[in-house]
Each structure stands twice: as C-alpha cells, then as structure tokens.
Amino acid sequence: MAVRPSKTSKAAWADYLPSLSDDPTHPAQVILRTYALSLSLSLGPSLIPLLASLVSAKLPAKSFFTTLKRILQRDLRCDGFAFAITTAVGGGALIRHLWHLLDDPTFTHKPVNAPKFLLDITDRIRMWSQLLSLSHEQRTFLSHLVSSSLGIVLLQAGRARSLRLRILSSGGVPTPNLSGISPTLDLTILLAVRAVDSIVQSFIINNSTSSPSSHVSRHLDISGKTQLEPHLVRDRLEMEKLKLEKLLSVKQTSQIDAFVFWACSARIMWCFFYKPQRLPRSYIKWIQTLANVDRRLMDALAYLREGTWSYINGSATHRNLLRTYSQDLGHPSSWGDPSVLPAYGRNVADSVWKAINVRSRTGVGGLPCELVHGTVGANLGVSDSCVMNAGLRATKAFAESMAIYLPAHFLPLLLTRPQALLRPHRFLGAFLGSIRSAAFLTSFITIFWYSVCLTRTIFLARLFPFISHDFWDGPQGCIMVGSLLCGSSIWIENGRRRGEMALYVLPRAIRACIPDSWLKRRNIGVRLAERLAFVLSISTLLTAGIHRQDSLRGLSRWTLAFVTNGPNAGFWKRKRLDPSIPPTPSIPATPQQNEMQDTSHPHTPKITDTLL
C-alpha cells in the first residue's frame, strides 16, 4: 500500500494534481476557469479602488480591513457573482458530461455497488434520451438551460441581499419587496445582445456557405490557361470560393455593425442631453469630458424640452440660469435672458442683436453662438465662429483620442508579443491603427458640433426663419440632427473594431429605450421575463462557444474559448511535474467536435481554424 506523502512536503501538491483531468473540456477544468475569471471580474472593480485609497493614505487601515472583509463576504458567498456564474457555466458542463456517460451502454456495469433505484433511473434517462434522439448541440443547450436557471436565481438573491445590507448600513429600512431597477438587468441585456449577435452571425455564415458557387469562375478563370491537374483545379476553386464567402460575410456583418452603431450612438447622445438618468455614470462622465459642455447649458436644453424655458414665453423660474453663464464667459447677462433673445429670424432678430451688441447671428434668432461654443476659442477671440469651434474641438479631441487609443493598440502587443514591435511593419501598423481610431472619435465629436451649428445657425434656421428657435434648439432640432449624424463616423474605424464597438454600445442603447415604469416594476412577471432572457441567452452563448465558435466575435469569442476549452489548459500543472512537457493545445480535438466537423458542410472551416 502506497504511503501518503506528507502535507508539509512541497512535492505533495504535484502528486495530488494529476488527479485533475488533463482534458481542458472536463467539467472540473471548466469550473475552475469559470470561477477564476468571474471572481476576478467581481473583485477587481472593488479591490483596485480600495487598494488605491490605501496607498494614497485616503483610507485608514482599520477601515480598509473592514471594507475588505465586507467585499470578500459579498463575493465569496454561494450567492455571489462568481459562484452563481460558475453554477450556470460549470453546472451545464457537468450535466453534459454525465449525460454523455449515461449514453455509454456499459455504464450500468461500472457502479457495481450502486443502489437498484439509481440504476433504474439511469436506464429510464437513457431510454428517454434515445427516444428523443437529441444532437450534441441540443444536449449542450438543454444542459446549460438547467444550470443557468439555478445560476440566475442565486445571482438575483445575492444582489438583493447586498442591496438590503447597503440600505441597513445607510440607516434605512429595507422592505420585503425592494423596488427599483433590477441589479442584474445590465448583465442580462449584455448576454442577450451577444446571444442575438451569435445567431445573426450563424445565419450569415450559413447563408454565405449555401450560396451557389457558379460565380466563382468569373473571379478565377483557370480553364484553358493552365496545365494544372483536375484535382488541383478543384482545390483552387474551393479555396477561392471560401475566400469569397468569407469576404461576403464580412461585408454583410460590417454593414449591420455600422447601422447598429449609428442607431445606438444616436440614442445615447440624445439621452445624454435629455435623459441622463438612463445612462451609467461612467458614460455621462466620459461624454461630458469629450463634449466639454457646461452643465447650465444642458439644464437649459432640458428645461426647453419641458417648456419651462422658452424663447417665446420666457422663463419665470429659470430666467437667471443662462444669465449667470453668460456673465461667467465675459458677456452681458442679456445674452442669456430668454425674455430678451429673439425667437425668430430675419428683421426682428437683427434689431434685437443690434440692441444687445451681438454680431454673429444676423438673420437668425436663438442663443448667441458664443454661449453655445462656451470657452472654446475664447482665448483666440474666435468663440463666435462655428467653423473655428469645430476645428478647435477636433484638434483637442484628436489629442485626447490618441492618448486613449495608443495604449489600446500597443498594450496587447507589449503584453503578448513585445518582440513584434521591433519589426517596422508591425509597429507602423499599430501606430496607424491608433491614428485611425483617433480619427473616428475625432470625427464623431466634430460632426456632432458642426451639425448643431448647421442646424441652428448656418443653414436650416436661415432657410426657415419663420420656425421658432424653441424648435431649432429643442429635442427635435439641432440636438437630434447632431445625434443622428455623428454615428456616421463609424465608417472610418476598422471593420473588426467596428463590430466590437457596435456590440459595446448596443446594450446601453437598449437599456436607454426601456421605459422607467417598466424598469421599476419589480413584480413576478418582470422577474420571470428577465430570468428567461438570461437563461436563454447564456445557454445560446455557451452552445455557440462549444459547437459554433465561428459565430462568436470579439470579447465573447475569447471569453467562451477560454472558459470552454482553456488556452494552454493544464499548463501550470504539467510544468510543475515535468517542465519538458509542451503545453496543451488551446482547442483540443474532442470526439464530439470531430463528429460535428465531419458531418457538417464540407467547406466549413474547422473549429481550430476559426478561433485562430
């Protein structure tokens, strides 16, 4: 009988580790990777600011450990984010693995000492499985459907418990049925968007692969010009067909992504001015930094939409809002008085402008350009010029955008392949990519501001001077025109990044479209609807991550490849036991995957090819 090694010896851990399966798709491996990833996503946003406050001495050590204990208790519980997500993902992998074992006809002979009722249950499950004749893909979906149902219940219970604790710590009294927006709504919408995108991509890929191949000969005319063997001609035609199909699917996807981003950015920008409570604070802060708009000007736009601030009727309650803003900019207070400013253009407006000494708005009414442009160009004496306002904002936006996108393009190379930066073409490619992304964001800001000026000053307001500036400066006027046009800058961005950006803004745009009355209605029907959306979405994504990786894009593709297959799975354990052993491939060939590839369309790329 083997002697069990001492727990204190360093080699003891390496002796125990081989008991963990080397198969990266094994449920134990999937559970470990899922828990590690979800725990880092849960603890990271909380621990990083906490550690920063400790280092900067803004937080006493006692308060630090108290907060740290509270964070760990919140995230390490069975209803914490990490455990709930691991239940949804790893539980499905476990159910799928057990289901595969039940299909083994010799399974009943393996557990010799198993109770008879357990053997009867396994026989009945096997019988129903054979009658249903479910494919591997359908089994994966159903397995994760069961596990994710338990996962969302745990997740919502944990979020509700955290909300009750926050209310108690602030001195409030929690009610049995907590009102307000569901704390898991943003995650559910994010998963739903990614799942729908996977379905759309799968449809595009299937549509392109099923298209007739007669057009290939027009692009590749080999007959009569070469002496290739017939099988070589067929191989070249097939390769050319695959290239054309890929180009077609990329083009279709790019068009969809551009439209999605345009629609989402229009909604987000409009909500930034009129419904900021529907956007996250991070969105508002980021847009506010790039837009450089005074808060009082935004408040005036909101009051104009409500009708409490008007060029026609004045404002009894907010008359001094822009008067003080005008004074702070160094202009007369009358420039911001709605009872003085002209509502219409032409002769009536010109007489008012002459009386209050405004020279930049001949023929049009509304707020003077100097107040709309703010401090931009004031030091140069060109704050009244719409063209200079757009140019100066573009210059500043490009500098700020380069500060954002240079790290975004170079950090991945520095962390993964730093030696690639020594090659001139790779360095130049990353630098040009940064310039392209910065040009996109610069164009986004410039188009918005110049569209506002075109609407209220340069073109439309002059073309229709009989329309009041309550309309031109209102929610259907210059703000809507700017919001609708700024998203067209997405065509400047790279096609691959265009898709990821569309998927990034789409969940927030959907959230901004849901009425507040629906969000705050926390009855059983709303909770069940959200749970159903969560369960179907995560089951669809995990099924795609295992069987249809080519239908996933960007962040979801990398995350699901890591969770379901694991890059270099088992690398750390194998290296400790034998450093000479090479790492495990990230996408191993499993029997199910081989079967799926063999029975699929003969021209469909293999799973390992689609993930590279």
At 551-604, the pLDDT tens digits run 998 888 889 989 988 765 443 344 444 444 444 444 434 434 443 334 333 333
Query: How many Å from the N-terminal Cα to the C-terminal Cα in the chain?
Result: 47
Question: DSSP label at 455?
Answer: I
Query: Could you tell me the pLDDT band of residue 179, with boundaries at 50, 70 and 90?
Result: low
- In this prediction, residue 173 carries a pLDDT of 53
Q: Are 545 and 560 in contact (CB under 8 A)?
A: yes
The dihedrals phi and psi of 462, each to the nearest 5 degrees, come to: -75, -35
Please tell me whether residues 476 and 581 are part of one structural domain.
no
Selected residue with higher pLDDT from 247 and 422 = 422
Please tell me whether residues 553 and 491 are part of one structural domain.
no
Please tell me whether residues 526 and 509 are part of one structural domain.
no
Domain extent at residue 470? 281-513
- Tokens encoding 225: 């010009």
CB half-sphere exposure, 438, CA atoms < 13 A? 22
Specify burial of residue 116 (Cβ count, 10 A radius: 0-12, 13-18, 19+).
Answer: exposed
Does residue 606 carry a pLDDT above 50?
no
This prediction's pTM: 0.79
- In this prediction, residue 45 carries a pLDDT of 85
Distance CA 528, CA 263 (A): 29
Distance CA 297, CA 325 (A): 8
Position 249 in a domain: no
Does residue 93 carry a pLDDT above 60?
yes
Q: Which of 462, 491, 513 is the last residue of a domain?
A: 513
Average pLDDT, the chain: 81
Distance CA 476, CA 456 (A): 12
Position 28 in a domain: yes
Does residue 228 carry a pLDDT above 80?
no
Position 201 in a domain: no
Least confident range from 203-212, 320-329, 410-419, 551-560: namely 203-212
Count how many domains the chain has.
2
Selected residue with higher pLDDT from 134 and 534 = 534
Position 217 in a domain: no
Does residue 216 carry a pLDDT above 50?
no
- In this prediction, residue 104 carries a pLDDT of 65
Least confident range from 145-149, 219-223, 466-470: namely 219-223
Q: Are 201 and 553 in contact (CB under 8 A)?
A: yes
Top mean-pLDDT range of 135-144, 295-304, 411-420: 295-304
Top mean-pLDDT range of 49-58, 250-259, 445-454: 445-454
Position 446 in a domain: yes
Mean pLDDT of 35-46: 90
Please tell me whether residues 503 and 385 are part of one structural domain.
yes
Top mean-pLDDT range of 154-163, 489-498, 532-541: 532-541
Return the C-alpha torsion angle 143, 147, 148, 153, nearest 10: 150
Please tell me whether residues 443 and 553 are part of one structural domain.
no
- In this prediction, residue 578 carries a pLDDT of 45
Q: Are 585 and 564 in contact (CB under 8 A)?
A: no
Please tell me whether residues 38 and 133 are part of one structural domain.
yes
- In this prediction, residue 174 carries a pLDDT of 53
- In this prediction, residue 23 carries a pLDDT of 80
Distance CA 59, CA 312 (A): 53
Please tell me whether residues 574 and 477 are part of one structural domain.
no
- In this prediction, residue 480 carries a pLDDT of 96
Least confident range from 63-72, 139-148, 423-432, 512-521: namely 512-521
Please tell me whether residues 509 and 533 are part of one structural domain.
no
- In this prediction, residue 229 carries a pLDDT of 62
The dihedrals phi and psi of 310, each to the nearest 5 degrees, come to: -145, 145
Position 571 in a domain: yes
Distance CA 442, CA 139 (A): 48
Helix ranges restricted to H, 170-315: 185-209, 216-219, 230-274, 281-291, 295-306
Closest Cα to residue 85, out of 147, 146, 24? Answer: 147
Q: Are 313 and 294 in contact (CB under 8 A)?
A: no
Position 297 in a domain: yes
List all residues 6 or more positions away from 509 whose beta carbon is below 8 Å from its beta carbon.
263, 264, 265, 267, 268
Q: What is the pLDDT of residues 412-441, one digit of tens each?
A: 888 778 888 888 888 999 999 999 999 999
Please tell me whether residues 547 and 599 are part of one structural domain.
yes
The dihedrals phi and psi of 314, each to the nearest 5 degrees, come to: 75, -160
Distance CA 24, CA 124 (A): 30
Mean pLDDT of 195-214: 76
Mean pLDDT of 12-17: 48
CB half-sphere exposure, 276, CA atoms < 13 A? 15
Please tell me whether residues 185 and 39 are part of one structural domain.
yes
User: Taking the CA atoms of the chain, what radius of gyration do you get in angstroms?
Assistant: 31
Q: What is the three-class DSSP state of 314?
A: strand
Position 405 in a domain: yes
Q: What is the three-class DSSP state of 310?
A: strand
- Tokens encoding 321: 């809002």
74 sits in the region (left: phi over 0; alpha: psi -120 to 50; else beta) called: alpha
Distance CA 344, CA 351 (A): 12
Mean pLDDT of 243-251: 74
- Tokens encoding 250: 């990329």
Query: Could you tell me the pLDDT band of residue 308, with boundaries at 50, 70 and 90?
Result: very high
Please tell me whether residues 163 and 41 are part of one structural domain.
yes
Q: What is the pLDDT of residues 357-405, one digit of tens each?
A: 999 899 999 999 999 999 999 999 999 999 999 999 999 999 999 999 9
- Per cent of the chain over pLDDT 70 is 79
Please tell me whether residues 170 and 309 are part of one structural domain.
no
533-572 in b/e form (b: 16+ CB < 10 A) is: bbbbbbbbbbbbbbbbbbbbbbebbebbbbbbbbbebbbe
- Tokens encoding 142: 């159903």
- Tokens encoding 576: 């400790």
3-state SS string over 369-433? HHHHHCCCCCCCCCCCCHHHHHHHHHHHHHHHHHHHHHHHHHHHHHHHCHHHHHCHHHHHHHHHH
Distance CA 186, CA 149 (A): 17
CA distances from 98 to 230, 261, 286, 380, 383 (A): 48, 42, 48, 73, 71
Q: Which of 481, 513, 545 is the last residue of a domain?
A: 513
Place of tokens 């745990």: 154
Mean pLDDT of 511-531: 81
Q: Which of 467, 493, 513 is the last residue of a domain?
A: 513
CA distances from 548 to 3, 198, 606 (A): 47, 9, 10
Mean pLDDT of 160-165: 79
Q: Are 200 and 548 in contact (CB under 8 A)?
A: no
Q: Which residues pair with 314 in a beta bridge?
A: 310
Distance CA 21, CA 23 (A): 5
Does residue 523 carry a pLDDT above 90?
no
